[in-house]
Structure 1
Amino acid sequence: MGTPNDQAVLQAIFNPDTPFGDVAGLDLGEEAGEEEVEERVFPQEELEQSKVLEMQGIMAAEAGDLGSALERFSQAICLLPERASAYNNRAQARRLQGDLPGALEDLERAVALSGGRGGVARQSFVQRGLLARLQGRDDDARRDFERAARLGSRFARRQLVLLNPYAALCNRMLADMMGQLRGTRNGR
């Protein structure tokens, strides 16, 4: 299966629009716990159908067929409207289509249904934070990235560093110093 780093690299290659470092299923303890809760809460047959529809939606989105992806995610939502995962996935497809208000609406619903806990909430906070950054709402982005980071998102932690002007200045100074050091070594 590969190391977590290998999986993250493959995720970045095959799904370039997803946040690097947030590989679904990597935190197997948490994800497995979420699946157990879903199996107790939702009827088994509907849950399986919903998961199949979501996988079809993900495959359609990866193939560039966002219309079909949205249709599959919406079908999964109609089947189990209290399940957060399909809202999170539909938000991604809506964002890719340029429907930012629709994406935000789905992300709000995913966060509410997940109770702000677990893998779906982590992904929803990251997506919502990215949308806030895109819209120039850095304070809102920071809050969402902080929540995602507390849920284990390495991508969100990196975004928090980028939002910190002092960290950015330190990184720039360190890069300059390293460049000068390399120049000194190469000059000898």
Structure 2
Amino acid sequence: MEKISKSDQNVLQMILNPNLPVVEDEVTIVDDSDSKFDKETLSVVKNLEKNGVKLAEEKKFGDAMKLFDEAIDTLPLRASGFNNRAQVKRLMGNVDGALDDLNKAIELSKGRGKAGELALVQRGMIKKLKGEKESAFDDFKQAADLGNLFAKKEIVESNPYAALCNQMLGKVIGEMQKGTVSS
């Protein structure tokens, strides 16, 4: 099987998803947001967050919240802790609290880096579920510009023309596979 070049992948992406941003090879987003923190303190906070994520995955939300609160108290200017805590708040049903934390994560990250990207996607999903489609689209667009594939998918799915085109293309491809396409 022949490997597709990055240039060919970009062209194919433009054809299949014309509304998505084109990612150039020369553009690299560097997330140096943690470089401003003391390495030792940062290591402690990252460990707190890692353990908090594990606890959240085990559905021990109260214990996870305590660790995220401690991480935020230790480094209150670090976006990641707010993003992680927002996830737990959302899982606990505290959507407004989650939105507050996501807004803070986006503010601290300036909407950049991994924490900013994930906070934008999470906030976009909450807005989408609340019926705030335009505002959700804006968050997904910003996250897609940072390279988030989920956000790119959400943008395409929210475009009625792209959805119709994808539906028609899927039908044609299905017919081609069955050998039922007429000329």
Following superposition of structure 1 onto structure 2, how do residues 1-188 of structure 1 map, counting pairs within 5 Å? 30=29, 33-34=31-32, 37-39=33-35, 41-184=36-179
Q: TM-score, normalised by structure 2?
A: 0.78
Using CA pairs below 8 Å that are at least 6 residues apart, which structure has the higher relative contact order? 2
Task: Give 1 or 2 for the bigger CA radius of gyration.
Answer: 2
Distance 1:52 1:180 in 2: 52
**Cα RMSD after superposing both structures:** 1.6
Distance 1:69 1:149 in 2: 29
Q: Which runs of 5+ in 2 are unaligned?
A: 1-27
> What CA deviation, in whole Å up to 9, does each residue of 1:85-128 have, x standing for no partner?
00001111111111110110000000111111111111111111
Distance 2:174 2:145 in 1: 34
Q: Which runs of 5+ in 1 are unaligned?
A: 1-28
Q: TM-score, normalised by structure 1?
A: 0.76
Q: How far does residue 30 in structure 1 lie from its aligned partner after superposition? A: 4.8
- Counterpart of 2:10? none
Structure 1 segments (4+ residues) deviating >4 Å: none
Q: How far does residue 172 in structure 1 lie from its aligned partner after superposition? A: 1.4
% same residue: 42
Distance 2:144 2:176 in 1: 33
Count of residue correspondences: 153
Flag the structure with higher helix content.
1
